[in-house]
Structure 1
């Protein structure tokens, strides 16, 4: 049996500064405690090709062993 290994390279396209198409959700006028601050965020819009993306969460924990074994 033969295995073929293929590689694909995908590029993200920078679309420029945010447009008026995106508006953050409006927040209701709730709350009276706190102080207004100026917040700057580093963000940009990208266009991602239609591909399958896999996301894995891996959590590796050692087995519980007696303290004398861990020395």
Structure 2
């Protein structure tokens, strides 16, 4: 996206998101660390709470509410 409001959501440089692998009877599944934390209902917040970060946090909270009210 070219809108400057979304520039923080684009990958930059060599910033890598850590992955975790879970094993179960159904096989292996890889998650990025933020998705894995969200699965445990943990919302990870870094940096100042500005419009973009607030939108991300609200979206995560709404998702969690819809999954398990």
Larger radius of gyration: 1
Structure 1 length-normalised TM: 0.21
Structure 2 length-normalised TM: 0.21
**Between structures 1 and 2, the one with greater helix share:** 2
